[in-house]
């Protein structure tokens, strides 16, 4: 049995516990997880014994070549086609992904099915399973992380005063793609000088000056799997104040990494980074959570936020990314992708975290 078939079987086996006879999978990432399909319009109906895959004619050739199970190529809404199969199979309780199904789509499904059939909202059960990565998934994530760091190294050499933020972002994404990435895992952030204090700045036409911070937050998607890394460097010799800030963020980041091990709550890892920044009176400048899971999506459970009770477990891939943002002065973030292991964790990101001066 292939890994994908194993996943389906595991999810199917959980259906009874969810009080559902079948499951309609609508999230693109979950569809990919259970079928390998990487198009934009796919839907899976999973029964205890069968997999029905629905897509439109644009993907007919690809779907028939690559997807095991019954492939239905449909003109019009996929959900209507799925509703027909649901009735034909005499399913009584159909689970749906309530975190991914829009209110209107739910109503359309409801209207297409007899009232005797019950629609069961199921939470993020597939996402919960996805939190723990298989050896094959870890291998791809590792390659995605390495690819991302290689792109970073290549671009680092070309950064100099006069270059625009958007040139650097373009170069980062170009290198990712040449190295084999499907695409960036998210919009690359390149923010220089005071703009680095905007945690999610879009790269603009601002040209690098001689003496300032440069924050780069970048990730690749390789075979669907994301990587995520942030590095902050300085053009010209940094003033002591900036160096001190950098060291505080790095200290917090290392404390976060040191806190990662199976059984620890996500909230405790968040507290570890936050406490270091508090010691440096920088906790108010740390305006986001410590990190997040990643895999087929750039943001997946767990979330490493304040008081988050999720227990870390072997095989989770997460980011550790504290940062400080002080309007008009500085923005510094340091982020690695990290794998939870039996003994603690492995930092997958190979790029140096020394404060690089260009």
Binding-site ranges for its own copies (CB under 8 A): 38-40, 56-62, 96, 98-104, 106-107, 121, 123, 166-167, 169-171, 173-174, 176-178, 180, 182-183, 187, 197-203, 205, 287-288, 325, 327
Q: How far is the CB of 352 from its own copies (least distance, A)?
A: 26
Q: How far is the CB of 173 from its own copies (least distance, A)?
A: 6
Nearer CB in complex with its own copies: 102/343: 102
- In sequence order, which residues have a C-beta less than 8 Å from that of residue 114 and are 6 or more positions away? 87
Nearer CB in complex with its own copies: 200/258: 200
How far is residue 338's CA from residue 315's CA, in Å, rounded to a whole number? 10
How far is residue 330's CA from residue 120's CA, in Å, rounded to a whole number? 49
Retrieve residue 322's tokens.
């504290």
Nearer CB in complex with its own copies: 8/274: 274
Let me know: does 237 contact 168? Beta carbons within 8 Å: no
- In sequence order, which residues have a C-beta less than 8 Å from that of residue 278 and are 6 or more positions away? none
Q: How far is the CB of 342 from its own copies (least distance, A)?
A: 34
Nearer CB in complex with its own copies: 128/182: 182
Which of 145, 156, 146, 218 minimizes the C-alpha distance to 187? 218
State yes or no: cis peptide before 302, omega within 30 of 0. Answer: yes
Nearer CB in complex with its own copies: 149/345: 149
Nearer CB in complex with its own copies: 63/141: 63
Q: Phi then psi for 303, rounded to 5 degrees?
A: -100, 130
Measured CA to CA in angstroms, residue 116 lies from 48, 81, 87 at distances of: 20, 19, 11
Q: How far is the CB of 81 from its own copies (least distance, A)?
A: 16
Q: How far is the CB of 140 from its own copies (least distance, A)?
A: 15
Q: How far is the CB of 341 from its own copies (least distance, A)?
A: 30
């Amino acid at each position: 049995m292939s890994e994908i078939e194993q996943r389906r079987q595991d999810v199917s086996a959980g259906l009874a516990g969810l009080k559902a006879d079948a499951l309609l999978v609508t999230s693109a990432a979950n569809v990919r997880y259970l079928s390998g399909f990487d198009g934009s319009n796919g839907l899976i109906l999973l029964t205890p014994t069968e997999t029905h895959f629905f897509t439109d004619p644009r993907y007919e050739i690809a779907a028939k070549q690559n997807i095991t199970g019954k492939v239905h190529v449909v003109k019009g809404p996929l959900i209507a086609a799925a509703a027909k199969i649901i009735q034909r199979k005499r399913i009584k309780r159909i689970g749906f992904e309530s975190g991914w199904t829009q209110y209107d789509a739910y109503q359309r499904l409801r209207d297409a099915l007899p009232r005797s059939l019950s629609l069961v909202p199921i939470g993020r059960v597939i996402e919960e399973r996805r939190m723990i990565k298989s050896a094959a998934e870890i291998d791809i994530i590792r390659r995605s992380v390495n690819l991302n760091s290689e792109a970073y190294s290549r671009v680092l050499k070309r950064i100099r005063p006069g270059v625009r933020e958007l040139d650097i972002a373009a170069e980062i994404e170009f290198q990712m793609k040449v190295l084999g990435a499907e695409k960036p895992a998210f919009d690359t952030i390149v923010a220089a000088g005071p703009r680095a204090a905007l945690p999610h700045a879009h790269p603009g036409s601002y040209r690098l000056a001689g003496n300032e911070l440069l924050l780069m937050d970048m990730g690749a998607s390789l075979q669907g799997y994301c990587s995520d890394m942030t590095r902050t460097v300085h053009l010209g010799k940094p003033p002591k104040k900036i160096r001190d800030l950098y060291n505080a963020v790095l200290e917090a980041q290392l404390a976060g990494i040191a806190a990662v091990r199976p059984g620890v709550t996500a909230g405790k890892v968040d507290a570890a980074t936050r406490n270091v920044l508090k010691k440096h009176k920088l906790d108010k400048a740390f305006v986001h959570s410590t990190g997040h899971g990643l895999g087929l999506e750039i943001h997946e459970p767990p979330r490493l936020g304040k008081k988050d009770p999720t227990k870390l477990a072997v095989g989770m891939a997460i980011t550790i990314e504290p940062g400080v943002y002080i309007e008009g002065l500085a923005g510094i973030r340091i982020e690695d992708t990290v794998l939870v292991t039996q003994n603690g964790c492995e930092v997958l990101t190979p790029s140096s975290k020394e404060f690089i001066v260009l």
